[in-house]
Chain A
Amino acid sequence: MSSGERLRRELYTLRFILGKEMKLWKRYPSRILFIIIMPFLSILTLYFQGMGLVGSTVSSEFESFAGTQDYLMFIIVGSVVFIFVSTAIWGVGNSIRREQMMGTLESIWVTPTSKLTIFVGVALFDGLFSSYVAFMQLLISSVILPVNMLDLKMFVVIGIAFLLIFSLYGLGFFFTGFVLIYKELEDFTNMITSAIKMISPVSYPLSVLPTPIAFLAMFIPLTYALQAIREYLGLGEYGPFYQYMGLLLLFDLLFIIGGSLFFRYAEKKAKRSGIIATH
């Protein structure tokens, strides 16, 4: 088979991976309820939290350390971007874990399709799913809350999020390698996700963090994506927009290469030790 023909067939395989994920997802009816209700719960929690803390969706107190009065818009941006963070980092690893638990991983691993195609297929499904949740959160915010999140600026925000997601998938490859070797990572997943959320400026600006923790945030691409988005949306003064874009590109490169190399190492180690399909 020529490499062109192989590429064509692997691209076609993506359609079937998406289809399979969608069918498996649909076969559990409770999930339908989940995707209808969850965006409301997430956004309304943020709204009531703001109302409880500052009595309004805007606050001059908040402006003194965040650079903007618009508390609600500040935190919705963080929340929506974080949906992609969580999915990008853990989506592929969790999918591999699910296949391990279902007993289908070896059946997939023995096929000639490249692992990258399988990962991209899973990532596409997760990406579409996250996009839906993010869009619903923005829609709900714009329709029932006093913020407008659906203007043209959102296209630039999506572009920035896109740059961020590449580097996060690099991290995702790294954690997928971890899943192959160390299996059960649920607690680890929760810990890392919580740590990223705490260190990076998802729910609050970096200025509220103690200096050593704020220093750690410099090594997380999410920090630069959020700073760039908030700068662009005028939600405070966060510094040089294009410099943040450059840093995001650098993280993309480093994390994708590093994550891929680690995954290859982990796959080889799993094949040597025979632990690919063990639980």
Chain B
Amino acid sequence: MAIETKDLTKTFYRRNGLIDRMKHRERIEVKAVDGVDLEIREKELFGLLGPNGAGKTSFIKLLSTLLLPDRGTASVNGWDIEKNSFEVRMSIGLTLSSERQLYWKLTARENLEYFASLYLVRPDEIKQRVDDILEMLDITAQGDMLIENFSSGNRQKVALSRALLNDPPILFLDEPTIGLDPSFSKNFRKLIKKRINEKEKKTILLTTHYMEEADLLCDRIAFINEGRIVALDTPENLKKSIDEKEIMTFRLSRASKDMIKEMKGLEPIHDMEELDQDDSVVMKIFTDSASACIQDVFDILTRHGSQVISYVASKPTLEDVFIKITGCGLDG
């Protein structure tokens, strides 16, 4: 196994300012990672999917030795994260979601040469290694530009280059496409999948809250919510785990209990969920056939005076699976 965790647990205790502490002595307890058991295979591209604050970044930081666990164990490339932190760091490359993980007043090449030395790359290989990686990620032309003059996307490419400097077998990519425009994200995902995972044969643990990203890239996905792994399988199997073949998504002006009760009585409808969003309600209806019940649903909505703002019928997505399991969306 490339990565293995057993009962890995991390709790943070938050306290406010001094005055608040005097008023309220109790600490706010946040379980960031809660008893996670996970095995990630070598050369696998594994996705950790969950909303903001679900514990994704904390999990990666534990595996990267940036945090110490309260309980449980974890090994990375066969090394224990607490006992063999040097060997773990030699085995991994990490990119964080922050744009400011590089020195903006240094060029890409200067950044990479500096980090190559921190990754203890052989001194006589540093220059060649940096040149090779810049070429691999197609940013050789910008190598001597200051990072402050880079686009967000190319900055993320430099961050990925840095993670590859010591040619580690395992990469941790924390929200790699956050803040990137759609077309660049698409190319970046291709780079991760085809070049880094399939050609360079790196094991990749990727966190994201973009379901399409996880769906497109990952061999297997774990859903994480409130620090716990709530589901784990291939994207296909996760989507198949929903019995229903279609999902009708309505945005309504309002939804009453009586209306929902009446809809649930319709034969083709298996399940329903409502999410309050600002001044409207999003209602998802899980069914075997949308066309078989659409007329009845509209009749009920009209009878109860609920105005339809939008309506879409679709196949189940990973987000639908996530909502069904956790009762909340990936936006948190």
Contact = CB atoms under 8 A, between A and B. Distances in A.
B113 A16 contact: yes
B102 A13 contact: no
Interface string B103-143: 11110001001110111111100000000000000000000
A118 B114 CA distance: 12
Contacts of B68: 268, 271-272
B114 A19 contact: yes
Contacts of A109: 66
A215 interface: no
Given A20-B106, A27-B105, A104-B100, A111 B114 contact: no
Interface of A is mostly: helix
A107 interface: yes
Contacts of B94: 107, 110
Interface in A101-127: 102-104, 106-113, 118
A24 B162 CA distance: 19
A143 to B, nearest CB: 35
A106 B66 contact: yes
A103 B103 CA distance: 9
Interface stretch (A4-12, A193-201, A234-242): A4-12
B101 A106 contact: yes
Contact of B98 (A1, A9, A15, A103): A103
A12 to B, nearest CB: 5
Chain A interface size, as a band, is: 20 to 34
Contacts of B65: 110, 271
Contacts of B58: 274
A52 to B, nearest CB: 42
Among A16, A17, A268, max chain B CB count under 10 A is at A16
B204 interface: no
A108 B101 CA distance: 9
A273 interface: yes
A183 B135 CA distance: 39
A27 B110 CA distance: 13
B90 interface: yes
A108 B90 CA distance: 13
A6 to B, nearest CB: 7
Nearest to A26: B105
B66 A103 contact: no
A113 B121 CA distance: 10
B110 A107 contact: no
B90 A20 contact: no
A274 B61 CA distance: 9
A23 B110 contact: yes
Given A16-B114, A23-B110, A24-B105, A276 B66 contact: yes
B103 A111 contact: no
Contacts of A107: 94, 96, 101-102, 115, 162
Given A102-B103, A276-B66, A20 B120 contact: no
A102 B100 contact: yes
Contacts of A102: 100, 103-104
Contacts of A24: 103, 105-106
Interface in B234-280: none
A172 to B, nearest CB: 21
Nearest to B90: A112
Contact of B102 (A16, A104, A112): A104
B62 to A, nearest CB: 10
14 contacts: A9-B123, A15-B117, A20-B106, A23-B106, A106-B61, A107-B101, A107-B102, A110-B92, A111-B89, A111-B118, A112-B86, A112-B120, A113-B117, A277-B66
Pick the 7 closest A-B CB pairs, nearest first.
A103-B100, A16-B117, A111-B118, A112-B89, A27-B105, A13-B117, A9-B120
